[in-house]
């Protein structure tokens, strides 16, 4: 049987990871002079407390190669083939760490996939892979399906401030300063695995409305829609948007997931993102 491995940059409702026995390798968050593994010894409440009270921003890094090696070794020794699905190699060294671990187990069948995505769109692909594995698909069939899906998946998001992205080196300090001074809310997107500005609007409410418009535009004429709603400390807003899109678009699936500390380090509180896959 094929088993699915991913990193904690993939966001899904926690019960789905358990239901489909998805192996989750944690991203690393460094804060207060200590190293934490996301979801193991660092939860969101402790993370946001640190974010509110500390003058220094946490930093993040990919999982150690050894964490992937152990996950792969245990699954392969149990007789499983492995599809390992990871956040964009343009944003993190996670994919490279997974490839390095695969090379340490040449006898195992391990397929490592660079989704060129992160957060809920990565989660959409992970969930599809897990369901295919449960249904008896081969590793190669799953990889082919993921390659098809990632080219047809979009992700737009808006942040309350660009301060955290700037501190983490994802946008320039000048971009962040201009956005904040002009009270503009840049709508960002993933393009070829990287974060890019899509357009700018004024006010948070307009930005959130525009996110929904972008998903409606993408969904028009497409079928088998899968939608993910990502948020950082905006659960009520995210749930309302999910219900609205469910009623309007009738997707095959829609879910809400809160971003973990590694992504929230760069997004900050008040972030909202919408992902959509459609054929």
Residue 169: pLDDT band (50, 70, 90) is low
The span from the CA of 204 to the CA of 195, in Å, is 19
- Write the CATH number of the domain with boundaries 153-277: 3.30.1180.10
Q: Is the pTM of this model over 0.85?
A: yes
The span from the CA of 274 to the CA of 190, in Å, is 11
Residue 161: pLDDT band (50, 70, 90) is confident
Residue ranges of the chain assigned to CATH 3.30.1180.10: 153-277
Residue 196: pLDDT band (50, 70, 90) is confident
pLDDT digits (tens, 9 = 90+) for 99-158: 999 999 999 999 999 999 999 999 999 999 999 999 999 999 999 999 999 999 999 999
Q: Is 132 helix (H, G, I), strand (E, B) or coil?
A: helix
> Using an 8 Å Cβ cutoff, are 197 and 188 in contact?
yes
What pLDDT does residue 166 have? 61
Backbone phi, then psi, for 26, in 5-degree steps?
A: -80, 140
Using the predicted structure, report yes or no on whether residue 279 has a pLDDT greater than 80: yes
CATH 3.40.50.10170 for domain 2-27+62-149, yes or no, is: yes
Residue 160: pLDDT band (50, 70, 90) is confident
Q: Write out 59-125 in H/E/C secondary structure.
A: EEECCCHHHHHHHHHHHHHCCCEEEEEECCCCCCCHHHHHHHHHHCCCCCCEEEEECCCCEHHHHHH
Average pLDDT over residues 225-244: 98
Residue ranges of the chain assigned to CATH 3.40.50.10170: 2-27+62-149
Using the predicted structure, report yes or no on whether residue 167 has a pLDDT greater than 90: no
Q: In the beta sheet, which residues pair with residue 38?
A: 42
């Amino acid at each position: 049987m094929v088993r699915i491995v991913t990193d904690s940059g993939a966001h899904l409702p926690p019960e789905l990871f358990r239901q489909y026995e998805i192996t989750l390798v944690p991203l690393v968050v460094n804060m207060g002079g200590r190293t934490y593994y996301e979801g193991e010894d660092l939860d969101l409440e402790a993370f946001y407390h640190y974010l509110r009270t500390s003058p220094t921003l946490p930093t993040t890094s990919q999982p150690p190669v050894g964490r992937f090696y152990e996950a792969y070794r245990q699954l392969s020794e149990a007789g499983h083939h492995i599809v390992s699905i990871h956040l964009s190699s343009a944003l993190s060294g996670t994919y490279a760490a997974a490839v390095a671990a695969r090379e340490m187990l040449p006898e195992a069948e391990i397929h490592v996939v660079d989704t060129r995505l992160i957060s809920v769109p990565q989660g959409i692909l992970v969930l599809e892979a897990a369901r295919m594995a449960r249904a008896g698909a081969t590793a190669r069939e799953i990889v082919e399906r993921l390659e098809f899906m990632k080219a047809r998946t979009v992700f737009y998001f808006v942040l309350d401030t660009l301060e955290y992205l700037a501190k983490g080196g994802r946008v320039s300090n000048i971009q962040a300063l201009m956005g904040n001074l002009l009270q503009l809310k840049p709508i960002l997107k993933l393009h070829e695995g990287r974060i890019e500005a899509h357009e700018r609007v004024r006010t948070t409410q307009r930005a959130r409305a525009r996110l929904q418009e972008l998903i409606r535009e993408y969904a028009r004429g497409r079928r088998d829609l899968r939608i993910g709603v990502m948020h950082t400390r905006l659960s009520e807003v995210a749930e309302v948007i999910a219900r609205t899109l469910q009623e309007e678009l009738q997707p095959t699936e829609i879910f809400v997931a809160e971003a973990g500390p590694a992504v929230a380090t760069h997004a900050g509180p008040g972030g909202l993102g919408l992902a959509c896959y459609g054929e």
